[in-house]
Structure 1
C-alpha cells in the first residue's frame, strides 16, 4: 500500500506531505482545489508522461516521492526489483521522481538511479490508476488473456508453465530448421566463412592459460637485470666474507656451548641451528638459480609474436582462450551441420513433428481449462453488473482462435498457447456484442470497469488502486451501488478515490478534504483529514451545495449510518 506521498513545487502545490491508510480513502473538495493534481503526482511516480508544465511557476524542479509497503513473499514487484538489481529491505519501496523546468526527469527506486521505463514497470506493479477517460489495461484486449489466466489461478498457471516449457524446446528447434533453410548462396557464404575461421583457430594450436604463462615469462625476461642483481646481492649478503652465514655460524657455536652448560638455553640453540641450515639451503638454491639465469632476447621476441597472435584471435573470436575454444567447437559443429544439411533438416523435421504433437495436446488441455474458467468469469461479471443495475448487459469472453482446429498446419502456435481472448459486451437488449475497447465512455463504462476491477483486483496483486472521478454521470441508486463496489475493492486492496458523490464519501475509511487558498499572491493547496463532524459538514456540502441546513446534516448522518451498516456486513462476510 501507499504509506506516504511527498509533493514539492508541483503545479499549484508548493509543499505537501500526505499519509495514507488501508481501506478506502476518499478525496473531496471544490472543483479546481487540486484533487486531480495529487492523482497526477501519483501517476508520474508510476512512470506517467512528464512535462515542464508540472513544475510550479518560478521553481527549478518538481519533486515527487512515495513510500510503499509490500508483502515480499507474495508481491510480483519483488521479482521485478531483483531483475533490475534493486534492493528491497523490510518490504519498503521508495519511488522518487524529479522533473526539471526543461521537462527532463531523474528517477530513483530505493535510492538507485533508474530509467523511466524501469520506474514505469515497477510503478505499474504497485499502482493502478483508473480515470473516466483513461485507457486502462482492462480496456486493451492484449491484457484479456493474462487476466483470464490470473482468474484461473493455479490450475491455469500450472498448465501454462507446462506448455511454455515444451514451447521453448519447439521454438529452438524451429529456429535451427529456419537457419538450415536459408537460400543456397547464404549457406555457401556462411560455410566459407566458418571454414576459414575453423582453420585459423586450429592452426593456432591453442592451449588453455597459454597467454597467462607467456605474460609471466615475458615479465621475467623483461626484468632479468633486476632479478639477477637482487639474487646476487642476496647471495653475497648470506655467503660473503664476514656476512650473515658466518655470524650465524658463530652464534650457533656459542649457543651450543651455553646449552651444554645450562639446559635453559637448549631451545634457543636448536632454533638458531635450524635457521642456519635453512638459510644454508636457501643460499644454495639462490646460487643454482643464478647459474641458470640467462637473458634470451630471441625468446622474448617469440613471446611477443605469440601474444600478438593470441590477441588478434581474441579480437575476432572471444575475450579469452577459453572463449575462443568454445567458439571453435560451436562453429566446427555448425560446419558439420551445413555440410550434411539435408540429413540434419530431415532429423529436425521429425523432432519438430513429435514436439508439435505434444505441444498441441498440451495447448488443447490449456484451452479447455481457459474456456471453463471463462464461463465462470462470465457468471461473476453478470452478477456484478446486475448489482450495478445493468442486469440487461451481456458479457462474453470470446475465443478468437481455438486449439480444436483439426488442420494442424493452419494453427498458429504462440508462447501463451493457441488462444486469443477478448472481452465483448452488449449494454442494450437487441444490440450486438462489441469489443470492450469499443464501448462508449460514460456512466455505463464506469460501472463496467468497476465490475471488472472488483473481480480482478484480487488477482492482479496491485498495491494501490486509484479511481479518478469514475462516478461521473451517475446518481441515485446507481451512485450508491458504485460506492459499494468501490468499497468492496478496498476490502482487498488500498483504494484512493476522487469523488463528487456523497454516497461514496460516506463509505470512506479516511476522508481527505482538498482545498486551496491565497498566500502572498500565490495559490496553495492543502489537505486535511476530516473528523466525524467535519465529514458530516463536507457530505452535506456535497448534497446541497454551499448552504448547509440542519436537514442536510441529518441526511449526511443517515448516509454515514447506512455506510456503517454496509461496512459491518462486508466485515462479517470476510470473516
Structure 2
C-alpha cells in the first residue's frame, strides 16, 4: 500500500508531501490543475522513463520519494533479498532523482538500483491503468497479453515463444543442410584427405624440437668434437693442465696451515675445485668416447625436418602449430558431419515441433478457460453499465502455429440484444468503449494481487447512473486493497473513502500545483463544484450531500499532507 508521496521540483510542484490511506480514494480538481502530475511522479518511482523536462523551471533536479508497505507477494521479498536490500519493519522507501543533464538515479531503501530494477519491483507495488488504456484494448496483441496475464499464463506463453524459436531454428538448420549438402560434401572430402596426410606424417608431440636439436648436434659434429677435446686437454692433459695447477696450489696452501689455521677454508675450496675439474675432464672424455659420427642418421634427420617443414609451409602455419591445425580440421569435420546428418536433423525438427505443440496446446487450454471466465464476467458487468442485453466474448480464433500460440485473441462485443458479436474495434462507440474497457480493467484488477490500483480518468465518456455504478465498483474493489482514481465525475468521487483536491495557485509570478486532503465539509464543497461548475448554490450542495450520503460513508482520516 502507498503510504506517503513526497515530490520536490517536479513539473509545477515545488514541494509536496502527500499522505495516502487504505480503501478507495479519489483525486479531483479542475482540468489542468495537475492531477496527472502526481500519477506521473508515481509512474517515475515505478520505473517509468525519466526526462529532464519534468524538472521545475529554475530547479537543478527533481526528486520523488515514496513510502509504501512491503508488498505481500513472497516473490517481492525474495527479489529484495536477492538484490541485497535489507528492510527494517514493514515499510520501505523508493526514491528517484532526475538531474538537469537528463541523468536519472534511483534507490530502494539506501541501495542504488537501475530504473529497470524499479520497474521490476514496482510491479509488486502498484498497477496504473492509464486514461488511454481503453484504446489500447483495441489492439489484438494487448488483448492477448491481458488474457494471458489474467489466466496466469505469462510463463507458459514465454515457454511457447521459446519453443517456437527452437522449432524454427531446427527447421532452418535442416534447410541449410539440404541446400549446402553438395558443397559441404566437397569440403568434407578435402578435410578427410588433409587428415590422412597428417596421419601419414605421424608427427609426435615434441618431435619437432627433438629432431631439430639432434640435427644441430650431428650437423656440427666436427666443431663440437674439436671444442670438447680441447676443453678436456686444458683440464687434465696439457702441461700444465688446470688439474695439475690446482694440485700444486692445494699442496702449497696445505704446507702453510701449520702457520695459520685461517687458510683451512681456502685449502678446502681449492681441493673441491681440483676434484670438480677432475670429474669434468672425465665426463668430457666419456662424451668423446661415446660420440659416433653417423652420416646416415644425419641424412635421415634432414629428410624428417624437410618433410615437417614442407607440410607446415603448405598449410601456412609454423611447425609448432601443426597439432592445433589438425585439431581444427577434426572439429570442422565433426561439425560438417553433424550438419550433413539429415536424418538426425529431421529427428531434431520433429522433437522441437512436438515440444512446441505440447506447450502450445496447454496454453490454448488455459486461454480457453480464462476466455470463458472473462466473457461471463464482462457480460455481467455490462448489464450494470447501462448496456442491458449486451454481451462480451474473448474469442480464440485458430490460426497457423506461431510464437504467440495456436490462436489469436479477439475481444468481441454486442452492445445490445439486437446486435451480433463483432470485434470491439469495429462496433464500440466512444462511450461504450469506455464502459467496456473500465469493466475489463476492474475485473482484471480483481484477479490481480497488486496491493494498489490506480485509475487515471478511466471513467471518461460515462456519466449519470452509470458513473455511480462505476464509483460503487471502485469502492468495492477498495475493500481488500488500496484504490486511487483520478476523476471528474462527482458520482464516482462520492463513493470514495477519502478525497484529495488538486489546484493551482500563483505565487511570486510562478504557478504551483497544490494538493489538500478534504474533510467531510470540504468534500461537500468539492463535489458541489464538480456538479455545478463555477457557481455553487445551496441546491448543488444539497445534491452533493445526497451523493455522499447514499452509502452512509464516513470520512477516512488521511495521514498529514503538506
- Class of the TM-score when normalised by the shorter of the 2 chains: 0.5 to 0.7
Q: Please list every run of 5 or more consecutive structure 2 residues that lacks an aligned counterpart in the other structure.
A: 207-323, 556-562
Q: Any idea what SS the aligned residue of 1:540 has?
A: helix
Q: 1:530 aligns with which of 513, 518, 525?
A: 518
Among candidates 468, 476, 483, match of residue 471 of structure 2: 483
**C-alpha spacing 1:147/1:86, structure 2 compared with 1 (3 Å):** farther
Q: Is the 8 A contact 1:507 1:564 kept in 2?
A: no
Q: 2:401 — aligned with what?
A: 412
Q: State whether structure 2 residue 387 is matched by structure 1 residue 390.
A: yes
Q: Is the 8 A contact 1:457 1:492 kept in 2?
A: no
Match runs of 1:27-426 below 5 Å: 27-74=27-74, 85=83, 87=85, 89=87, 92=91, 94-124=93-123, 126-133=125-132, 138-152=137-151, 177=174, 180=177, 183=180, 335-339=333-337, 341-342=339-340, 344-354=341-351, 356-357=353-354, 359-361=356-358, 363-401=360-398, 411-414=400-403, 417-426=405-414
CA contact (8 A) 1:397 1:421 kept: yes
Q: 1:57 to 1:401 in 2, by over 3 A?
A: same
Shift of 1:12: 1.8
Query: What residue in structure 2 maps to residue 215 of structure 1?
Result: none
Residues 148-200 of structure 1, C-alpha deviation per residue, up to 9 Å, x if partnerless?
234445xx689879978977976775576467556358858997999999x9x
The Cα shift of 1:451 comes to 0.6
Any idea what the Cα deviations from partners look like across 1:482-536, whole Å, max 9, x if unmatched?
Answer: 2122223333442211222222122111211223333333333322222222222
Q: 1:365 to 1:40 in 2, by over 3 A?
A: closer
CA distance in 2, matches of 1:19, 1:192: 78
1:446 is aligned to 2:434: yes
Q: In 2, are the aligned partners of 1:382 and 1:391 still within 8 Å (CA)? A: no
Which residue of structure 2 lines up, in the alignment, with residue 264 of structure 1?
Answer: none
Please say which of residues 45-54 and 12-21 is displaced more in the overlay: 45-54
After superposition, the CA RMSD in angstroms is 4.4
TM-score, structure 1 normalization: 0.62
Correspondence for 2:11: 11
Deviation at 1:7, TM superposition (A): 0.8
Distance 1:175 1:95 in 2: 47
Q: Compared with structure 1, are the counterparts of its residues 175 and 505 closer, same or farther at alpha carbon in structure 2 (3 Å cutoff)?
A: same
What is the DSSP-based 3-state SS (H/G/I as helix, E as strand, rest coil) of the residue aligned with 1:412? strand
The residue matched to 1:31 in structure 2 has which SS? coil
Using a 3 Å threshold, how does the CA distance of structure 1 residues 361 and 471 change in structure 2: closer, same or farther? closer
Q: How many residue pairs end up in the alignment? A: 430
Q: Which 5+ residue runs of structure 1 have no aligned equivalent?
A: 207-324, 403-410, 568-575
Question: Which residue matches 1:519?
Answer: 507
Q: Is the 8 A contact 2:495 2:548 kept in 1?
A: yes
Greater CA radius of gyration, 1 or 2?
2
In structure 1, C-alpha distance between the alignment counterparts of 2:15 and 2:428, rounded to whole Å? 38
Given that residues 35 and 486 in structure 2 are in contact (C-alpha distance below 8 angstroms), is that contact kept between their aligned partners in structure 1?
A: yes
Aligned to 1:270: none
Structure 1 residue 382, shift from structure 2 partner: 0.3
Q: Contact (CA 8 Å) 1:442, 1:472: kept in 2 or not?
A: no
Answer whether contact 2:87 2:109 (CA < 8 A) is retained.
no
After TM superposition, the structure 1 stretch with the greater mean CA deviation from structure 2, 536-545 or 126-135, is 126-135
Q: Tell me the equivalent position of 2:313.
A: none
Deviates more, 1:36-45 or 1:351-360: 351-360
Worse-matched range after superposition: 27-36 or 144-153:
144-153
Q: Distance in 1 between matches of 2:382 and 2:388?
A: 6
Distance in structure 2 (CA, Å) of the matches to 1:190 and 1:135: 59
Answer yes or no: is the 8 Å Cα contact 2:170–2:349 preserved in 1. Answer: yes
